[in-house]
Copies of this chain bind each other. A is one copy, B any other.
Amino acid sequence: MANLLGGKGAGLAEMTRMELPVPPGFTITTEACRAYLEHGREPDRLADEITREWDRFETEVHKRFGADRPLLVAVRSGAEISMPGMMDTVLNVGLGDEAVLRLAEWSGDERFAWDAYSRFVRSFGETVLRLPEQLFQEAETRVCDAFGAGRKNVLDAAQLKVLTSAYQEVVNAETGEGIPGDPRRQLDLAVRAVFDSWNGERARAYRRREDISEDLGTAVNVCLMVFGNLGPDSGTGVAFTRDPATGAPGAYGDYLQRAVGEDIVAGIRNTVPLAELERLDPASYARLRANLRALEAHYRDMCDIEFTVERGTLWMLQTRIGERGAEATFRIASDLVDEGVITPDEALGRGTGERLARLLFPRFAESGTDRPAARGVAASPGAAVGQIVFDSRKAVERREDGRHVVLVRPQTRPEDLPGMLASVGLLTTSGGKTSHAAVVARGLGIPCVCGADQLDLDVEGGVLTLPDGTRLRDGDFVSLDGSTGDVYAGRIPLVPSPVARDFVAPAPESGQSPAQQDAETVHDEAVRDEAVVRAVRRALDWADGHRRLRVRANADTPDEAVQARRLGAEGIGLCRTEHMFLGDRQPIVERLILAETPAERGTALAELLTVQREDFRGILRAMDGLPVVVRLLDPPLHEFLPDLTELSVRHATGDYRGEDRHHLQRVLDAVRRTHEQNPMLGLRGVRLGLTVPGLYANQVRALAEAAAGLKAEGLDPRPEIMVPLVGDVSELRLVKQEAEQVLAEVRLATGTAVDCPVGTMIELPRAALTAGDLAAEAAFFSFGTNDLTQTTWGFSRDDVEGSFFPAYLEHKIFAVSPFQTIDPAVGSLITTALAGGRAARPGLETGVCGEHGGDPESIRFFDRARLDYVSCSPFRVPVARLEAGRAVVEGAVVEGA
């Protein structure tokens, strides 16, 4: 119904059917608006229909209220999708020189009547007749000055009458005629004004931002004016059927005595909590509570409403399903199941993974959130507060001093990893949701705001300048919210996440559900926390009960593995070994690259063997009994060396920084030698394995020895080897042969046989297109959807998000970054690969380990494609579990439909 009547009109119609006290009125459909917008004039039959409705309305009002009540109406917009405040409203339509006298008589309040009339004339002039606001403002100032009044609120009835005349003169002077006296003519003009406001500048900008179709049009609600400003027994308010922040049951809202709706919006006077209405007007309050209960029962969900009390009579002006925060989403869904209102499947449909993600991280205390100083891309959820540091090395030092630091960089590189690990939050001034900083931050569960390009960052000068000119320096505090992209100067208090705590140390189930308590009076944080923890647990249980997709984690260290398992990971789908080559291991890798003799090379490899073996032991131990897919080294070698330009400048300027000149020269030579125009398309992945002797064998040996050791201890390690960037089956075959050779050697040396399947990434179009060949050698496929997206589209996420992606989103070339949600063409390559692979190897295990593994919409695609698992950052594991369950339930609904 909402598509024809608009959201507001549908709510009013629904409440009317429920026999709730709704002021009489009628709704002009969006269809009429669309016809008007298309042809530039009202459709022919509209006038007849309005006449018919108006007659019916007049009859009803007179029947219900008696003939002395003036026929004044509010004319309000109401689109299918709410666009709050973006279109026009005209109140008190029907007022005129005569009607104002009747209004004064009916209300017994002359000042009220003239106040209404003066407002009407000005509003009609500005909104309907499109006269400049400034002219009315000047008239108002003249009148107020004449009466020695500072503002019009202090004018009395007679003075307001003068003001009304002054306004009318503006209208007369500008239009050559006054506001039409005929209420019906007023109404027609007001309706047209609302229609026109669909294409107003504000509305168009809003629709662009919110991606609302231009073609919908708005409905127009015509409704008897009821007045909340007739005296102490009148007022107006908004109410929710449950707490929209926490989800706790009971009515919540705000009330303002002696006021109309616009006064609440204007915020001129302070509202009181809804509970006050019980004291002020117990009868209205009781009726309101009953109505709220009826609405929630009817809509089977939390509702929000607007209402007015007119001289002790309650009027319901609007209702809709209420907006709510992440916490309330899960709490309400869970409580409605307990209350028998909805089924667990319906509850599962209501809480998205994105909302769950927000609950896994600390949040800012509500009181603290002022206007942010800047806003960037919400790249990794959670709030963080710390001291600014502009350099990874310093981040590590400060962390060792026990300080909380936020690393601020133009963008991050793999060599920044130690600094990132030492930080409580990351802030970059360029790059988007899939930039290095964002991906790593999500992997580590560190809040991150990316691409905050309103900030001016001078790394060398050590100054971060905010848009308002504030200059922050090293050591100054900054607060950021990675769920919203907001950045604040200074410290904002943080509230820890009870849900995250629960994954680490689950609280015992409480015997009584929080919904059974009288929550209206409970403000205890502990109870609130317990409620949300229970709600999230239940949502995940429901999802786990449904889902077909297994969920694994992308985890590179023992710590991450432990964390991933706590968050419900059913194995590791991607263990990136490059992280074992960074940090304190970087010098070993540098020695490996600089090695000039087989002996030097052998020594470096032996050192790497030892450290990798320890890493693998820790990871396999944490994932005992679950699969751990280890990806052999993927990134180009120069990622383990300094930047060419920086090093060239240091070399040219003699800036050795304590290193000896000869060493710097050797490193520079190596950097030049390994430098590539397009590293993403260069010597990396399996290509490294086939050209750097011993590299992959070394990794396989470390893994096999680690697994053999654990098996000897009685554990059940389940390592798997994944070969990256394979384009042709012969690449895979060569690596597999080498790996099997090493596995056999380790078996012989340790006397322990470790089963270790070898599979392949599918991350190049060529791999997808030749999947049938690959499956002959590969024990499993893992779709690397980041790289597959890069090569299918021919753009690299490092390079494009800051450059042309904004324009592309603006041009609607894509609605959402293809690095976030799987692109259909990439999807078709996945489908092709699955068909080829399964034909060649029935029962082939298939999974996804790109960023898309944690994206709800992509998860739906992977579920439909019947992949075996998705793998994502540890902190996305609960999100993926939830969405994988939701995908099945939604799929069943779609299939059932």
Contact = CB atoms under 8 A, between A and B. Distances in A.
A683 B808 CA distance: 12
Contact of A793 (B690, B764, B793): B764
A476 interface: no
Interface in A818-860: 823, 825-826, 828-829
Contacts of A691: 803-804, 807
A677 B769 contact: no
Given A728-B814, A765-B829, 18 more contacts: A649-B652, A677-B799, A678-B678, A678-B680, A678-B681, A678-B798, A680-B794, A681-B800, A682-B795, A683-B803, A687-B804, A687-B808, A691-B803, A691-B804, A728-B813, A765-B791, A769-B828, A791-B794
Given A645-B645, A794-B725, A811 B730 contact: yes
A794 B793 CA distance: 11
A513 B725 CA distance: 58
Contacts of A792: 764-766, 769, 791
A271 interface: no
A268 B878 CA distance: 84
Given A679-B678, A682-B800, A800-B681, A793 B766 contact: yes
Contact of A804 (B683, B734, B790): B683
Contact of A680 (B677, B769, B804): B677
10 contacts: A677-B678, A677-B680, A678-B679, A678-B798, A679-B799, A681-B794, A682-B795, A690-B813, A791-B791, A791-B792
A166 to B, nearest CB: 45
A727 interface: yes
B690 A807 contact: yes
Contact of A648 (B645, B690, B730): B645
B825 A765 contact: yes
A644 interface: yes
A653 B790 CA distance: 38
Interface in A629-685: 644-645, 648-649, 652-653, 676-683
A731 interface: yes
Q: Which 7 A-B pairs have the closest CB atoms?
A: A681-B796, A682-B799, A765-B765, A678-B678, A764-B794, A678-B796, A769-B825
A799 B763 CA distance: 19
Contact of A652 (B652, B727, B787): B652
A728 B818 CA distance: 12
A444 B459 CA distance: 46
Interface string A292-328: 0000000000000000000000000000000000000
A826 B770 CA distance: 10
Query: Interface size class for chain A?
Result: 35 or more
Nearest to A646: B648
B825 A734 contact: no
A64 interface: no
How many copies of the chain does the oligomer comprise?
A: 2
Contact of A681 (B680, B725, B765): B680
A812 interface: yes
Contacts of A798: 676-678
Contacts of A725: 794
Given A645-B644, A681-B794, A795-B681, A769 B804 contact: no
A245 to B, nearest CB: 40
Given A691-B804, A728-B814, A829 B681 contact: no
Contacts of A652: 649, 652-653
Given A645-B645, A769-B792, A690 B764 contact: no
A796 B684 CA distance: 12
Nearest to A794: B764
Contacts of A678: 677-681, 796, 798-799
Interface string A720-739: 00000101101100100000
Contacts of A683: 799-800, 803-804
A653 to B, nearest CB: 5
Contacts of A727: 793-795
Contacts of A814: 728
Contacts of A813: 690, 728, 730-731, 734
Nearest to A651: B649
Contact of A808 (B690, B796, B829): B690
Contacts of A799: 676-679, 681-683
A771 to B, nearest CB: 10
B645 A681 contact: no
Contacts of A791: 765, 791-792, 794
A825 B836 CA distance: 13
Interface in A679-735: 679-683, 687, 690-691, 725, 727-728, 730-731, 734
A825 B766 contact: yes
A681 B790 contact: yes
Contacts of A644: 645
Contacts of A808: 687, 690
Interface in A82-118: none
Contacts of A803: 676, 682-683, 687, 691
A769 B831 CA distance: 12
A772 to B, nearest CB: 11
A10 B734 CA distance: 39
A687 B731 CA distance: 34
Contact of A812 (B648, B730, B787): B730
Contact of A682 (B645, B648, B676, B796): B796
Task: Specify which of A691, A799, A814 lies most central, judged by the most chain B CB atoms within 10 Å of its CB.
Answer: A799
A787 B792 CA distance: 11
Contact of A653 (B653, B682, B793, B823): B653
Given A691-B807, A804-B690, A796 B677 contact: yes
A787 B796 contact: no
A818 to B, nearest CB: 9
A778 to B, nearest CB: 16
A537 to B, nearest CB: 42
Nearest to A725: B794
A764 to B, nearest CB: 4
Contacts of A649: 648-649, 652
A770 B677 contact: no
A293 B814 CA distance: 72
A734 to B, nearest CB: 6
A803 B679 CA distance: 12
A677 B435 CA distance: 12
A294 to B, nearest CB: 48
Contacts of A679: 677-678, 799
Contacts of A829: 765, 769
A804 B734 CA distance: 15
